[in-house]
Amino acid sequence: MSDFVDRVTVHVKGGDGGNGSAGIRREKFKPLAGPNGGNGGDGGSVIFVADTNATSLLDYRFMPHRNAGNGTMGLGDVKDGSKGADLILPVPPGTVIFEAKGAQGRPKHPGEVLADLRHAGDRFVAAAGGAGGLGNAALANRTRRAPGFALLGELGEERDVILELKSIADVALVGFPSAGKSSLIAAMSAAKPKIADYPFTTLVPNLGVVVAGDHRYTIADVPGLIPGASQGKGLGLEFLRHIERTEIIAHVIDCATLEPDRDPVSDYHALEHELAEYADKLELPLGAIPIPERPRIIVLNKVDVPEAKELADFVRPEFEKMGMRVFEISTASHEGLKELNFALAAMVTEMREEVARREADEEQSRVVIKPLEQNGRRRRRADEGGTALEFTVERKENANGDFWFEVTGTKPERWVMQTNFDNDEAVGYLADRLAKLGVEDELRRKGAKPGDEVRIGRGNRAVEFDWDPTIAAGAEMLDGAQLGARGKDLRLEGQEPGGRRRTNTERRRQYHEMMDAKAAVRAAMMAEREAGHWADPSVDDDRHDETSLFGRGDDAE
């Protein structure tokens, strides 16, 4: 079994953000000293990094699910939770990351290109971690002095991506099966590819590093191509991608083949046809030279065989008429390898300069907009307003005639995920945020009536509820005036007895008022006593008093 893997589907998930804390600071003589809940920690991200020490995508074939660390929950005393650890995944340079398309449970196919990690150190965040929820200390403001709730942490991004390795080599060796490509790499470099005398011996691309004087370059052995490879015949379609990043294409032609209807010139035209068919399907990276414009050389192999030597001498003028350089070699006797080596080194040096010039021109011609540098991750404000352009409201209906209103948008969907629906105050806070964003007005404009079903978000993360504008977006009085904003703590607003600490002046005033009230009560009682309003309790002078201790007046006698 081969240990080379050049395409694999990976499921990545960023870490979930930690929940915020809804703590209240309590001190001696201060039963409600204010909110002190900290923010939750942000989740870690899954990051792919091009690393020269990575040579294959084999690790991801056996471990296709990769998760970053979760953030921890906030604590009291305004202590923020810790951030989840980022997951760094090394991949070989030349790896292209695609969005995975396809139904769940079905094989995935590449979609949009997400990143092209061409150079060592290139990075791509495949799944961003979720932001931590704000604690009640961060949610407190002038009108909401002691929130009894906190925001939940956001879920980390989760998706499937396809990693596809396109070998970065200077020279690509192409040819029919058993043309001697692997033998050529073994003769010119320290690579040890599998070599045998049957077709399709090479099942995976081989790379070799070649030294020619002061120059170093790499050569790639593309598994044998046959007519129809660009349509999926043989092994060519799976490995043609490895010539996309090469700068020179070397046709290795077997001059000693015994197969009928084959000769060096027809082999060359057959291979060029497959390359042209495949080139039409390519989306070349920045500064890359199109395949038809890349320089070619012809390598006539196995000239150590007398018949092959005669055939090579016969077809050489035909290739030279096409404007190509021709080299006659033998991987068995090493004949002509030195000349080929230095010729390839000179061509590689020239092409590297050309590619660098093209990349510089492309970089100057395109406009790159970068965000302003920020220290750390920006904390979202507790109350984020917006415009109607930041969300959409659509009326949906199914085949049964059931309808609902679907609200989508970055802010509404994120706010719903941050809300703890077991806390009425948190639900009211969500309603106020949605009303401030303009969701309620847009629902009315779309024809929504109280009691209609409303869904915020799509898929498994959607939240459904029956719309009630009186409750869902702030209580309204009959005259249209709104009540105070949700989140106010009555204990701090002085609407509950003893809920607010009194000042010394208030204490003295209330004490004197209480003492004056007691003195007034005593004076009134004394005046009633002196006026004879009080009777002797031992005398039963009320015959109608059923609770009298001495009976009911005259009836007691």
Q: Is 319 labelled a binding residue?
A: no
Q: Is 201 labelled a binding residue?
A: yes
Distance CA 554, CA 557 (A): 6
Q: Is 21 labelled a binding residue?
A: no
Distance CA 530, CA 549 (A): 25
User: Closest by alpha carbon to 73, among 105, 102, 43?
Assistant: 43
From the number of C-beta atoms within 10 Å of its C-beta (0-12, 13-18, 19+), residue 353 rates as exposed
H-run or E-run covering 9: strand 7-13
Q: Is 230 labelled a binding residue?
A: no
User: Closest by alpha carbon to 97, among 144, 49, 138?
Assistant: 49
Q: Is 161 labelled a binding residue?
A: no
Q: Is 489 labelled a binding residue?
A: no
DSSP 431-444: HHHHHHHTHHHHHH
Strands 453-456 and 463-466: antiparallel
Q: Is 193 labelled a binding residue?
A: no
90 CB neighbour count, 10 Å cutoff:
14
Q: Is 180 labelled a binding residue?
A: yes
Q: Is 302 labelled a binding residue?
A: yes
Q: Is 222 labelled a binding residue?
A: yes
Inter-residue contact 195 to 185 (CB < 8 Å) = no
Q: Is 181 labelled a binding residue?
A: yes
Distance CA 335, CA 529 (A): 139
Q: Is 91 labelled a binding residue?
A: no
Q: Is 202 labelled a binding residue?
A: yes
User: Closest by alpha carbon to 43, among 150, 124, 148, 158?
Assistant: 158
Q: Is 441 labelled a binding residue?
A: no
Q: Is 179 labelled a binding residue?
A: yes
357 CB neighbour count, 10 Å cutoff:
11
Say which residues have a Cβ less than 8 Å from residue 141's Cβ, sequence separation at least 6. Answer: 382, 383
Say which residues have a Cβ less than 8 Å from residue 105's Cβ, sequence separation at least 6. Answer: none
Q: Is 436 labelled a binding residue?
A: no
Q: Is 422 labelled a binding residue?
A: no
Say which residues have a Cβ less than 8 Å from residue 300's Cβ, sequence separation at least 6. Answer: 253, 255, 264, 308, 312, 315, 316, 326, 327, 328, 329
Inter-residue contact 475 to 482 (CB < 8 Å) = yes
Say which residues have a Cβ less than 8 Å from residue 551's Cβ, sequence separation at least 6. Answer: 540
Cα 43 from chain centroid (whole Å) = 11
Q: Is 330 labelled a binding residue?
A: yes
Inter-residue contact 473 to 444 (CB < 8 Å) = no
Q: Is 499 labelled a binding residue?
A: no
Q: Is 392 labelled a binding residue?
A: no
Burial 286-317 (b: 16+ CB within 10 A, else e): ebbbebeebbbbbbbbbbeeeebbebbeebbe
Largest CA distance in the chain: 157
User: Closest by alpha carbon to 159, among 60, 61, 65, 48?
Assistant: 65
Inter-axis angle of helices 181-188 and 337-365, nearest 10: 90
Quick one: three-class SS letters along 51-72? CCCCCCCHHHHHCCEEECCCCC
Q: Is 332 labelled a binding residue?
A: yes
Q: Is 96 labelled a binding residue?
A: no
Tell me the binding residues for Mg(2+).
182, 202
Tell me the binding residues.
175-182, 200-204, 221-224, 301-304, 330-332
Tell me the binding residues for GTP.
175-182, 200-204, 221-224, 301-304, 330-332
